[in-house]
Structure 1
Amino acid sequence: MWLSPSLLLMIISIVTSICLVISSPSLFISWIGLELNTLAFLPLLLSKKSKLASEASIKYFLTQTLASVLILVGGLWFLASWGGLATLTLLLGLSIKLGAAPFHSWVLSIAEASGWIPLFALLTIQKINPLLMLWMFCHLSMPFFYVVVLSSLIMGGLAGLTQTSVRSILTFSSINHVGWLMTALSFSLSVGAYYFLIYLTTLLCSILIFHMFNVSHINQLPLLSFKPSNQMLLFFALLSLGGLPPFLGFLPKWMILQLTVSYSLLLVGGVMISMSLVVLFFYLRLMFSAFMMGGVNLTTLSSDPLPFPVYFIALFSITGGGLSMIYFL
Structure 2
Amino acid sequence: MLIISPALLLFSLTLMAGTLISISSSSWFLAWLGLELNLLSFIPLITAQKSPFCSEAALKYFLIQAFGSAILLISVTILFVFSVSPKILIFTSLILKMGAAPLHFWLPTIMQGMSWLNCLILMTIQKVAPLVLISLTLCDQTGILFVSVSVFSAIMSGLGGLNQTFLRKLMAYSSINHTAWMLAAISSSTSLWIHYILTYSIISVSVVTIFNQNQMLHIKHLTNLSASPFNKVTLFMTLFSLGGLPPFLGFLPKMSVITNLVQSGFFIWALILTMSALITLFYYIRVAITSLTLNSPKTNQNINSINHKPNWVTLMNLLLLLPLTVLIPL
**TM-score of the superposed pair, with normalisation by structure 1:** 0.93
The verdict on how the C-alpha distance between 1:82 and 1:154 changes in structure 2, with shifts beyond 3 A counting, is farther
Match runs of 1:214-253 below 5 Å? 214-253=215-254
CA contact (8 A) 2:229 2:308 kept: no
Match runs of 1:107-118 below 5 Å? 107-118=107-118
Alpha-carbon separation, structure 1, partners of 2:275 and 2:79: 37
Q: Which residue of 1 aligns with 2:135?
A: 135
**Which amino acid is the alignment partner of residue 201 of structure 2?**
L
Q: Which residue of 2 aligns with 1:46?
A: 47
Aligned length: 325
Alpha-carbon separation, structure 1, partners of 2:148 and 2:294: 39
Q: Which whole-Å deviations, capped at 9, do the CAs of 1:205-259 have from their partners, x for residues lacking one?
A: 0111111111111111122121111110111111111111111000000000000
Alpha-carbon separation, structure 1, partners of 2:189 and 2:171: 26
Q: Which residue of 1 aligns with 2:61?
A: 60
The verdict on how the C-alpha distance between 1:37 and 1:304 changes in structure 2, with shifts beyond 3 A counting, is farther
**Which amino acid is the alignment partner of residue 119 of structure 1?**
C
Q: Which residue of 1 aligns with 2:87?
A: 87
Q: Which residue of 1 aligns with 2:99?
A: 99
Match runs of 1:307-326 below 5 Å? 308=312, 310-326=314-330
**Which amino acid is the alignment partner of residue 202 of structure 1?**
I
Cα deviation for residue 8 of structure 1 reads 1.5
Cα deviation for residue 310 of structure 1 reads 4.7
The verdict on how the C-alpha distance between 1:104 and 1:186 changes in structure 2, with shifts beyond 3 A counting, is same
**Which amino acid is the alignment partner of residue 93 of structure 1?**
S
Q: Which whole-Å deviations, capped at 9, do the CAs of 1:153-183 have from their partners, x for residues lacking one?
A: 1111111011011111111000000000111
The verdict on how the C-alpha distance between 1:297 and 1:138 changes in structure 2, with shifts beyond 3 A counting, is farther
Q: Which residue of 1 aligns with 2:79?
A: 78
SS for the counterpart of 1:110 is: helix
**TM-score of the superposed pair, with normalisation by structure 2:** 0.93
Q: Which whole-Å deviations, capped at 9, do the CAs of 1:52-110 have from their partners, x for residues lacking one?
A: 111111110000001001111111222234535x1000000001001001111111111
The verdict on how the C-alpha distance between 1:305 and 1:3 changes in structure 2, with shifts beyond 3 A counting, is farther
CA contact (8 A) 1:152 1:178 kept: yes
Match runs of 1:238-277 below 5 Å? 238-277=239-278
Return 5+ residue gaps in structure 1 as ranges.
Answer: none
Cα deviation for residue 323 of structure 1 reads 2.6
Identity across aligned pairs (percent)?
A: 33
Alpha-carbon separation, structure 1, partners of 2:311 and 2:31: 36
**Which amino acid is the alignment partner of residue 137 of structure 1?**
T
Cα deviation for residue 304 of structure 1 reads 10
Return 5+ residue gaps in structure 2 as ranges.
Answer: none
**Which amino acid is the alignment partner of residue 270 of structure 2?**
G
Q: Which whole-Å deviations, capped at 9, do the CAs of 1:107-154 have from their partners, x for residues lacking one?
A: 111111011111111111111111111111124222111111111111
Cα deviation for residue 315 of structure 1 reads 4.0
